[in-house]
Amino acid sequence: MKKSFRPYIAFLLMGSLLTFSACKDEEDPEPDHEHDAVTTVTLTLTPTSGGQAVTATWEDHDGPGGNAPEIDELVLSANTTYTGSITFASEEEHGDHHDTHDLTEEIREEGTAHEIFYLVTPQGLVTFNKTDKDANNLPIGLETTATTSAAGTGKVRIILKHQPGTKTSTSNENTGESDVDITFDTRVQ
């Protein structure tokens, strides 16, 4: 009687192993988007007619939920066209020093999965046009031109979106996941 029972045990063990290994294949996939948190964003606008570059920086070294970020006011001249660039960095504190990791080139290299959006209120206070393209000839937004209108005040909201597999010519600020979403108080004078 013991000999006829052994094949059933072997069958049960094999079934358990197959079931266990089948379950392992259905685990949640790894996130496709692991990178350093953005702690510093610097927008630089240089008048095309010559003159002093304008720089505005947003810094949040301790990340969300800690101290409020430090944000410069963006002050531009009226009726002026600027050549613009924006950089993104991650800074980490390590006791008595901190390391800075420039994320800008990574964003450029992964341009087919990233786009930067510039949303201005009131509309027309500053008009941004993206001038750089990814491998699919779609805009990235690390390089721009910016044109101001008459004097006024408002806000420039900048959103870096991660859009793997979803970036198209009709993508907008609602497409994909936000890597960073910041706002500069803006004065055109």
Range of the domain at 87: 40-188
Q: Which pLDDT band, with edges at 50, 70 and 90, does 34 fall under? A: low
**Buried-state track 57-91, b at ≥16 Cβ within 10 A, e below 16:** bbbbeeeeeeeebebeebebbeebebebbbbbbbb
- The values of phi and psi at residue 107, to 5°, are -65, -45
Residue 119 banded pLDDT, cuts 50, 70, 90: very high
Distances (CA, A) of 151 to 24, 29, 111, 183: 62, 51, 34, 19
Model confidence pLDDT, tens digit, residues 132-163: 999 999 999 999 999 999 899 999 999 999 99
Q: Across all residues in the chain, what is the average pLDDT?
A: 84
Contact between 40 and 88 (Cβ < 8 Å)? yes
Question: Residue 138 falls within a domain, yes or no?
Answer: yes
Residue 163 lies inside a defined structural domain of this protein: yes
Does residue 9 have a pLDDT over 80?
no
- Three-state DSSP class for 87? strand
Average pLDDT over residues 82-86: 98
In angstroms, rounded to a whole number, what is the distance separating the alpha carbons of residues 84 and 127?
11
The domain total for the chain is: 1
CB count, 10 Å around CB of 2?
Answer: 5
What is the per-residue pLDDT for 127?
97
Distance CA 108, CA 139 (A): 11
Residue 119 structure tokens: 């949303």
Domain contains 1 = no
Of 7 and 149, more confident: 149
Specify if 67 maps to a domain. yes
Residue 48 placed within a domain:
yes
In a domain, 72, yes or no: yes
Determine, yes or no, domain membership for 121. Answer: yes
Mean pLDDT of the region 9-32 = 45
| Residue 30, domain member (yes or no) | no
- Please tell me the distance from the alpha carbon of residue 165 to that of residue 186, in angstroms, as a whole number: 34
